[in-house]
């Protein structure tokens, strides 16, 4: 259960919806024809943009969702969150997030071995240890005055950040 009220996000989406373009999954998939999803209007586009691309940090570096980039921006107070959805290319994706005394975890599963770059902010002190099942090229990166962990996954895996002993 999230401790952050979603009603604030909904109100923000309604307020900014009139200034937001008509973005559709089709547009994110690399097509630009208007009217690809008539049920997807300004307000829902604004809300989904905040939720999917802002909070969850879901994007695709190339048209057609042939790969993913997951760079979530969860509030420090969130202890856990999970999301399952069908991507524009038809593949299903499931993401689980956990932040507790043992560290921060992002678990990802995609159909068809879809490659994903994963970037996760670190809320603890100092540079974290980066590890995880199925993680390729684990590394830490400086992000201003804070740290984040990063790596690549193919299909399924997890990125874990934990404090260095000492």
The domain segmentation of the chain, as residue ranges, is 1-55, 61-166
What is the full per-residue pLDDT of the chain (166 aa) written as tens digits? 333 344 444 444 444 443 344 455 555 566 655 555 555 555 566 667 777 878 888 888 877 788 899 999 999 899 999 999 888 788 889 999 999 999 999 999 998 888 999 999 999 889 999 999 999 999 999 988 899 999 999 999 999 999 998 7
Q: Just give the CATH number of 61-166.
A: 2.60.420.10
Residues 30 and 67 sit within 8 Å (Cβ to Cβ) = no
Q: pTM for the complete prediction?
A: 0.72
| Spatial distance between the Cα atoms of 161 and 132, rounded to a whole number of angstroms | 8
Residues 148 and 120 sit within 8 Å (Cβ to Cβ) = yes
């Amino acid at each position: 259960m999230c401790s952050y009220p979603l009603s604030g996000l909904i109100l923000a989406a309604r307020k900014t919806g009139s200034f937001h373009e008509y973005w559709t999954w089709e547009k994110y998939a690399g097509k630009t024809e208007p009217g690809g999803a008539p049920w997807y209007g300004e307000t829902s586009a604004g809300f989904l943009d905040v939720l999917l691309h802002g909070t969850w940090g879901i994007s695709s570096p190339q048209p057609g969702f042939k790969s993913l980039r997951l760079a979530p921006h969860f509030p420090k107070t969130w202890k856990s969150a999970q999301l399952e959805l069908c991507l524009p290319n038809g593949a299903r994706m499931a993401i689980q997030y956990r932040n507790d005394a043992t560290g921060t975890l992002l678990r990802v599963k995609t159909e068809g071995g879809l490659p994903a770059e994963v970037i996760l902010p670190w809320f603890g002190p100092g540079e974290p240890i980066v590890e995880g099942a199925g993680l390729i090229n684990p590394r830490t990166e400086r992000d201003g005055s804070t740290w984040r962990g990063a790596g690549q996954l193919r299909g399924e895996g997890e990125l874990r950040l934990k404090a260095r002993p000492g």
